[in-house]
């Protein structure tokens, strides 16, 4: 819906969005007045969005853990970060963007769901000592009558740190409460620190050497590079190959410049207060650019001769060494840490004995016959961005699923975040 509206405003600025309006008899004038055909799909998109939201909202449950969305009804009850983050972000987006984004006919149920879901999530003790969201909670069934979320799974994934950022930004836009932005920036800064990057010095905290030894694992990366626990060993599933791209997509959405016109409830703050929050938000997002650029340059070094991004962005700057899960510096046997996004759920008392959840099937790397005439395209490439490297023997990113559509989307999402945020800082 947002794409249709944006495309129409950019390329059909003089068009009448009223589909029932009368148009000039002159064919040229009429064509200039006609709305873009994509606009005709908006009512259908809205109807489908409402249907899916109502289906998804049935997962909200107060019988266990005093609230929260249940992840998978076929397994033992599990209330995890991603399901609840998606619920918050989807709910506030429904409130913001349905019905042309006007105040008319906004459904307060969507706003209520977003606020209630956010309050539950932030009060659920689902973050670890580093301020990162762990994966979720089970209920200890060995305690008779227990309804509390008291068995926490400590697994950390990058996308669990990103999806909520869209919800936090949306809640700010609707309510004007700065606490949502503050929570978002705290989460972003926790992620950056967990990659081994110092915002104070604007560089990695560990020395990066082109040797056979990897920098120390810092919780969500090393050497300042965002990393999944499966990256270095080349053992990522199709699901996990999407995660870093998801993170940067939502980081980009969160760091959009604040606009007074976006605030739905302007009774919560005055223009002076807004200007202060806007400046602080812009400054904080600008401080992340050094880290984002560091990741972008590293990711660009993983491209092969066909321009395809690798999954492990740090491979090039870490010397293209190949390591196994036993030698990647990560404790993959940590207590209460189930990497089910890569290996599936176990059949046990905690997750359930009657069924398993398995990640996307291993598929062959993507291939394409599309050829672009890059030589004749008018593009400007910053001097500091490395060109595509020649094919290498023993490329760590050739292991496992290799270079795929998912790894390409991740690289593009990272580059887009760097471009958009850097442009917003220069304007």
- Domain ranges, residue 243: 184-263+278-334+386-427
Q: Classify 120 as helix, strand or coil.
A: helix
Q: Is the dihedral of CA 205, 206, 210, 215 positive or negative?
A: negative
Residue 232 inside a domain? The answer is yes
Please say whether the beta carbons of 213 and 323 come within 8 A.
no
Tell which residue, 27, 25, 31, has the closest CA to residue 11: 31
Please say whether the beta carbons of 153 and 136 come within 8 A.
yes
Residues listed for the chain: 427
> Would you state the pLDDT for residue 172?
96
Tell which residue, 68, 104, 96, 97, has the closest CA to residue 84: 68
Residue 423 inside a domain? The answer is yes
More confident residue, 394 or 196: 196
Please give the full DSSP string across 55-76, using - where no structure is assigned. HHHTTB-SSSTTS-B-S-TTSS
Residue 247 inside a domain? The answer is yes
Please state the domain count of the chain.
2
> Would you state the pLDDT for residue 3?
79
Residue 160 inside a domain? The answer is no
> Would you state the pLDDT for residue 269?
82
Longest dimension (CA), the chain: 78
Q: Is the pLDDT of residue 383 over 60?
A: no
Residue 244 inside a domain? The answer is yes
Residue 407 inside a domain? The answer is yes
What band does 2 get if pLDDT is binned at 50, 70 and 90?
Answer: confident
Residue 294 inside a domain? The answer is yes
Phi-psi region of 136 (alpha: psi -120 to 50; beta: other; left: phi over 0): left
Q: Is the pLDDT of residue 91 over 90?
A: yes
Tell which residue, 79, 58, 59, 285, has the closest CA to residue 169: 285
**Residues 12-57 pLDDT 10s:** 765 555 555 566 677 777 666 777 778 778 888 899 999 999 999 9
Tell which residue, 37, 51, 42, has the closest CA to residue 2: 42
- Segment 268-292 shows an average pLDDT of 94
Residue 154 inside a domain? The answer is no
> Would you state the pLDDT for residue 378?
41
């Amino acid at each position: 819906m947002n794409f249709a509206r944006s495309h129409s405003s950019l390329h059909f600025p003089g068009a009448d969005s009223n589909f029932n309006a009368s148009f000039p008899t002159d064919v040229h004038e009429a064509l200039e007045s006609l709305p873009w055909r994509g606009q005709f799909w908006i009512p259908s998109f809205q109807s489908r969005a409402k249907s899916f939201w109502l289906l998804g909202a049935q997962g909200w449950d107060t019988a266990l853990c005093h609230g929260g969305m249940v992840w998978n009804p076929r397994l033992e009850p599990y209330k995890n970060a991603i399901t609840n983050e998606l619920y918050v972000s989807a709910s506030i987006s429904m409130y913001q963007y349905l019905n042309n984004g006007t105040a008319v006919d906004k459904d307060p149920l969507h706003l209520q769901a977003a606020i209630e879901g956010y309050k539950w999530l932030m009060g659920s003790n689902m973050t670890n000592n580093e301020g990162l969201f762990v994966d979720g909670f089970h209920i200890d069934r060995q305690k008779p009558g227990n309804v509390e979320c008291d068995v926490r799974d400590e697994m950390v994934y990058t996308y669990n740190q990103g999806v909520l950022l869209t919800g936090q930004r949306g809640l700010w836009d609707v309510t004007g409460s700065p606490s949502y932005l503050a929570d978002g920036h705290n989460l972003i800064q926790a992620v950056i620190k967990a990659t081994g990057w110092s915002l104070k010095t604007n560089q990695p905290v560990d020395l990066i050497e082109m040797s056979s030894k990897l920098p120390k694992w810092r919780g969500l990366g090393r050497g300042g590079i965002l990393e999944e626990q499966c990256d270095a060993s080349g053992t990522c599933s199709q699901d996990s190959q999407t995660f870093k791209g998801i993170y940067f997509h939502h980081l980009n959405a969160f760091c959009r410049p604040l606009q007074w016109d976006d605030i739905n409830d302007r009774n919560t703050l005055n223009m002076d207060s807004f200007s202060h929050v806007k400046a602080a938000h812009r400054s904080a997002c600008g401080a992340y650019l050094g880290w984002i650029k560091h990741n972008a340059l590293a990711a660009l070094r993983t491209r092969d001769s066909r321009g395809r991004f690798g999954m492990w962005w740090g491979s090039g700057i870490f010397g293209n060494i190949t390591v196994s899960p036993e030698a990647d510096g990560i404790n993959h046997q940590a207590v209460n840490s189930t990497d089910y996004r890569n290996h599936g759920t176990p059949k046990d008392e905690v997750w359930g004995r009657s069924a398993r959840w398995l990640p996307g099937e291993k598929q062959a790397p993507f291939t394409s016959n599309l050829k672009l005439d890059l030589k004749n395209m008018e593009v400007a490439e910053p001097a500091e961005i490395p060109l595509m490297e020649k094919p290498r023997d023993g490329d760590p990113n050739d292991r496992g699923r290799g270079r795929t559509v998912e790894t390409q989307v991740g690289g593009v999402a990272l580059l887009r975040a760097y471009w958009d945020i850097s442009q917003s800082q220069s304007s």
